[in-house]
Structure 1
């Protein structure tokens, strides 16, 4: 009996030891896997709450409480002009809508540059920067770059008219009067997503008040033409002026008037007559 008891005890101790060994091996493998997973895990990403649109919105549509929601976005990758709380989207005391200026896809981050101010429609006034004014320029297929201009493009403005030379003669001259002027509307639309070329009749630009006066004078006294500036072009354009002579390569030469030969005379009286006699001039 004692032998059986001893055998059972030995078997039990062996099974217990085996169980401890297996458990230790399992725990060791688990800890190793956990350490490897922690080593491979990247640093924690800081997130910020931002508003996105629920569905695709086109120019002129309204952004309201119903078509936006808040999501978490990586803080380090946040674009400028996002909205982090509802009071930024719809300030207290303002109408609870904004109007889309540039189309947005579903789940796109809502940004200030793509919508008007709270309660505003998508008119030209919503596109003007502080202190700037809108001025309409009459154009046609030639002066308006064949209809390929869009709101948001930048143009150089040239004036062609009559110029007065030496207070007497006049001739046609073309002159660069403004550079890098931003277009805010074509005809009656300020949609920057407009892609179909159309021949515009008016182009509305954004300019400071003193520039508006220059453009008004230019439009009243001659003809204006626009030259499209490249999107990535940062060239500073110097003064440009071309007249008929420079266009044709004609160089002006001043013709000096011939110097009249100096004559010296003396007058003598002969009776009742006065006679003028030419004599050599003194050196």
Structure 2
């Protein structure tokens, strides 16, 4: 917190400052910024913009100050694939606004573009992904800075829990006349025919439980014999 105005003489705001708010040292810089965004880009990082809508932008909650993962959806050799290409990227601006105050953000329309702070390598990933698929965002929690296990998800993996293992590689899924089919090995196969039956047999009761009902069964059998 700045308490002495003389200590910040000849310094510049590195972010947009609202009236009647506390000024912190982290919000100041000795370098005159070209604009409000360039002053917030550390050495070795880049600011990259991507288009968003209500869905890909998480209903507009991906606002300045939030952290997001960038998800890439594409098609490769006829297979639909989804994977996370960037994790824990900071949102610098949304629709050219760097306002981080939640109350102020709520009154703004949903952004059509957001700008992310990422490494040079991640910036290249985003540009390549934009040219060959669709990008969307996953919003992270305020305290979640952990890197997760990134896995590429295909239609085959998505359907794996309900299909058998001997139909070959699944290349797609369609719905015809209300019925779902998967396309594999050049054939359309009804999904209903691929559901795995539960082959597990019902387990017998544990020994203690079994011992508890066996005398009752014997008594009933004896009673039936006496009636005969």
| TM-score, normalization by structure 2 | 0.62
Closer, same or farther: CA 179–99 of 1 in aligned 2, 3 Å: closer
The alignment partner of 1:120 has SS state of: coil
Q: 1:228 aligns with which of 114, 129, 139?
A: 139
Residue 220 (structure 2) aligns with? none
Residue 207 (structure 1) aligns with? 118
1:180 to 2:88 alignment: yes
Moved over 4 A (4+): none
CA distance in structure 1 between the partners assigned to 2:27 and 2:153 by the alignment:
41
Tell which deviates more after alignment, 180-189 or 246-255. 246-255
Unaligned segments of structure 2, at least 5 residues: 169-228
Residue 36 (structure 1) aligns with? none
Closer, same or farther: CA 135–252 of 1 in aligned 2, 3 Å: farther
Residue 127 (structure 1) aligns with? 40
Residue 72 (structure 2) aligns with? 159
The alignment partner of 2:63 has SS state of: coil
* Bigger Rg over Cα: 1
Unaligned segments of structure 1, at least 5 residues: 1-49, 53-69, 71-84, 165-169, 256-283
CA distance in structure 1 between the partners assigned to 2:111 and 2:91 by the alignment:
13
Listed as ranges, the matches of 1:34-49 within 5 Å are none
| Mapped contact 1:101–1:116 kept (Cα < 8 A) | no
| Mapped contact 2:68–2:139 kept (Cα < 8 A) | yes
Residue 187 (structure 2) aligns with? none
Q: 2:9 aligns with which of 78, 90, 97?
A: 90
- Cα offset for 1:100? 5.3
When the two chains are superposed, the root-mean-square deviation of aligned CA atoms in Å is 2.6
CA distance in structure 2 between the partners assigned to 1:147 and 1:163 by the alignment:
30
Closer, same or farther: CA 181–51 of 1 in aligned 2, 3 Å: closer
CA distance in structure 1 between the partners assigned to 2:58 and 2:80 by the alignment:
22
CA distance in structure 2 between the partners assigned to 1:128 and 1:102 by the alignment:
17
Equivalent residues, number: 163
